[in-house]
Amino acid sequence: MERKTNNNILVPTDFSEVAENALQNAIQVAKVYKNEITLLYILEESFLGGIFSKTQSDVMRDAILTKLKVKADEITAQHNVKVSVRVESGKVYKTIATVANEEKFDSIIMGSHGASGLEQIVGSNASRTIQYAEVPVVVVPAENKGSKGYKKIVMPFDLTLETRQKVEWGIHIAKKFDSEIHLVYSKTDDEYLDIKMKANIASVEHTLKDAKVKYTLYELNDSVLDNFATEIHNYANIVSADLIVAMTHTEKGISEVLIGTLTQQLVNKASKVAVMCIHPRETGFTYDY
């Protein structure tokens, strides 16, 4: 089933350095996929209502729109990417997800946290957004200083059916960026699970070879689930990965015990490598490779 989108990347911003890092990632993606970008600033209703009058709020909204338009014009001039701007009111994470879901945005690319005061994109908003968003969310951490594309992609490998969707996404990205995919999995002492894991890996290898995508396998020594996210990030940093791809809500460890917080851990522990969080669909996706 082909995925229908508006060919537009939603980039929440608060004009902080972290939001700028996310924007630079979005620009690189937009140039490769020929996407447009929408810069979104969100005014917290509770914050405005408690401090500013309606007139003051309107003045603030106009000032923010002006600043967004200046930024949009700069991006278009420098990168030849079409950029639109908008200001919305509401809770940050709910507004981001609602706009993306209802208007069928191609993806969300956002910073993992922001600064204080009026800069509204704080760490918890990134974590909450991936729970509500039905479109892929790329979370760009604070130390990620821009992107030249996704040349090395790390994918935690598990025993779930949803892993197939993750592999399809990995191929979809790798085809555009000429990427190398790193499949990372954890060893187990359980003979049955070990056989099942090897069979799944063999199947994925076959798929990647057919797609003519470069890949490598890496087995983690530590099978403790609590350390899984940390080990994934350690490996990603060692190989200088640009992106980690994970499924939202359904990631499982080697024992197939549901640990829905793995994606949250990957996002929360990220320091340099961006994390792409994909909401699983029952039908999955197919692409024209």
**Largest separation between any pair of C-alpha atoms in the chain:** 68
Q: What is the pLDDT of residue 180?
A: 97
Q: What is the pLDDT of residue 149?
A: 86
Please provide the distance, in angstroms rounded to a whole number, between the alpha carbons at the two ends of the chain: 14
Please give the CATH architecture assigned to the domain spanning 8-140.
3-Layer(aba) Sandwich (3.40)
Helix (H, G, I), strand (E, B) or coil at 285: coil
Please give the CATH architecture assigned to the domain spanning 152-278.
3-Layer(aba) Sandwich (3.40)
CA–CA separation, 84 and 13 (whole Å): 13
CA–CA separation, 257 and 113 (whole Å): 30
CA–CA separation, 272 and 91 (whole Å): 27
Q: Residue 218 contacts by C-beta under 8 Å, 6 or more apart in sequence?
A: 182, 183, 184, 185, 235
Please report, for the chain, the start and end positions of each structural domain, with discontinuous segments joined by +. 8-140, 152-278
Within 10 A of 173 (CB to CB), how many other CB atoms are there?
Answer: 23
Q: What is the pLDDT of residue 85?
A: 98
Q: What is the pLDDT of residue 52?
A: 60
pLDDT tens for each residue of the chain, 289 residues long: 467 889 999 999 999 888 999 999 999 999 999 999 999 999 886 555 555 666 777 888 899 999 999 999 999 999 999 999 999 999 999 999 999 999 999 999 999 863 333 344 445 688 789 888 999 999 998 888 666 789 999 998 877 777 778 899 999 999 999 999 999 988 777 888 888 888 889 999 999 999 999 999 998 875 555 578 888 999 999 999 999 999 885 544 443 333 346 777 788 778 889 999 998 875 444 444 3
CA–CA separation, 249 and 264 (whole Å): 9
Q: Quick check: do 8-140 and 152-278 share a fold?
A: yes
pTM metric for this prediction:
0.86
